[in-house]
Every structure is written in C-alpha cells, then in structure tokens.
Amino acid sequence: MWLDCDDPELNAQHDAQTWRPTDLEQFAAHVRGDNGRHAMLIDCSANDMVASRYSYWLASGLHVVTPNKLASSGPLSRWQAIRAASQHGGRFRYEATVCAGLPVVQTLRDLLDTGDQLLSVEGMFSGTLAWLCCHYDGKRPFSALVREAHALGYTEPDPRDDLSGMDVARKLVILAREAAWPLSLHDVGIESLVPSELAEVPLDEFMARLPELDAPMAARLAEAKAHQGVLRHVASLDRNGRTQVGLQALPSSHPFAHTRLTDNIVQFRTQRYHDNPLLVQGPGAGPEVTAAGIFTDLLRIAEALEVRA
C-alpha cells in the first residue's frame, strides 16, 4: 500500500511512490483520520479478507461502498455484524453487488420501506449466461459460444465461475437477506452447467474439453424448442424461501424470452405488485455500468450526510 502522508516531497512527483506492506487497519485509520471528518472506503477488490473487515470499519465510523458480493452473501454472522454496525456507525451501500448499475437493491429497499411485502423474486442475474442463452440456437455448438464469450471478455477468466451458477446464487442470497430472509449459499439449489468431472481440472484442460458440454446443452435446447419455448438461465426465490438457480425452458411469451445481449432482468412480485410484477431490466455487466452503480451509492451517502442550514 501507499499512503499519501509517507513523504511530502514524493507526493509532488507523479512517478515516485513509497510502498509499504499492506495493513488494512492502518490503511483504514489513515483514511478515517483524526479530525472527525466523514470518510469512505470503496472496495472493488472482490477479496474475502477485505470484506471481513467491513463491520469493524463501519463501527469506527467509516462509510463503505462496494460491488464485492462476498460481504453480503458470505457467512450469515458476518452479514448480521455488518448490518448492526451500519445502524450505529458508518453507512453501507452495495447496489453494484446485484446487476451492476441497475437499481435492483434500491428498488427492493424502497418497496419494503414503504410497507410492501416481497412474495417472490425471479430473474436473469448473469450477463454472461444471458448472452450465451440468447445466442444459443443450435446452429453453433455451445462450446463455440463459450469460447467466443471468453475471447470477448464477457466471461470470467475461468468460465466455470459463470457456468457454475455460484455468482448468480450470491446475488439471490443478497436480495433475500435484504428482505430479511436469513438465507445462505448452502440453502440455494444450484444447477451447474459444468460436468462434475470438469469442475476441478486445470483451466487449460477445461477449455480443451469444452465440447463435452455440447451434447447435454443440445438436449436441453431441443426440449425447450419442442414446447415452443426458449432456454434461459434463471434464479428464483419464492415466499416460502425455496430457491433455484439453473436453466429453464420458458414460453416465448415470458418477459425473460425477450432480453438482449448481456441484459439482466429482475421480476419482483409483491403484495402491491401481485398481478402485474415489477420489472427492472438493462445491461448487468461491464465496467461503465458497474462504476455508475458505485458512484450512485457514493452520491446517496453524501446526500444523506449533507448538513442543511
């Protein structure tokens, strides 16, 4: 890490920095300062060790903004400690943990804060899997599309991180906890698109054996087409706490059948929006929209802290 107080003369030079071993508590103390001013940490690390410090930073008065899903979907005790600390210390915002810049968490929060009751959540939470499903029509092998998505940078460096469904499951857990349902990852039924024999092999071997995904996916697509439907990767949570993440064959009339490119779409069914569910849809991946979600959280905290005469 590098603290701007290390050397005033070096601070004036753009090509010189004084580095020291990372100490998260020392770093947080430096950001917080000792003059009583408001201070904020924005964590874009996707690192579990960093996420484990949130409750302590919030309790000390630091505000935290993050797209890091590991805090809000990790151990339930950690999430409870973060919530408790944010009630009496710094403010915690994490809109970009679900669907990047789309206003999904805030929309759910607004519904609940105005007295509505969440009945179910259903959605396509992965831009990568949305792209794959939208492009997979049987004319090209599924493995070819995965390679193309990997080359375009749509997938994680290891495509199994997307194909396993674990990232989607984390987003579902975050929304469930926002609605005060104490779910954890082990409560989510996840259908992985990665065969068990490929789950732990080295990345190079997995990429070489990608065609092993083709036959199972072709069978799923044929089944969907036989019922005049489309294949989509969907996550769902019902009012009884039942969860599911995986491929579904949906009728062509379903709202999820008409998504484009890397679109995410989330459907909230509540007491207020019972017969006609509330939909939030738009690009759910990419640095620009993710940065917008983070910046929105920063502005909301700044607005909440503003002192008015």
Supply the residues annotated as catalytic: 171
Nearest-10 Cα torsion for 140, 125, 64, 60: -120
Distance CA 198, CA 206 (A): 6
* Residue 25 CB burial class (10 angstroms; 0-12, 13-18, ≥19): exposed
Question: Backbone phi, then psi, for 247, in 5-degree steps?
Answer: -75, 140
Angle at 180 between CA 302 and CA 267, to 5 degrees: 80
**DSSP code at position 179:** T
Distance CA 103, CA 85 (A): 24
Torsion sign (Cα): 287, 293, 297, 299: positive
Nearest of 276, 281, 238 to residue 258 by alpha carbon = 281
10 Å Cβ neighbour count for 6? 14
Q: Which amino acid is at 251?
A: P
Instruction: Determine which helix (DSSP H) or strand (DSSP E) holds 41, and give its type and residue range.
Output: strand 40-42
CB environment 140-173: b (16+ within 10 A), e (fewer): ebbbebbeebbeeebbeeebbebbbbbbbbbbbb
Three-class SS state of 212: helix
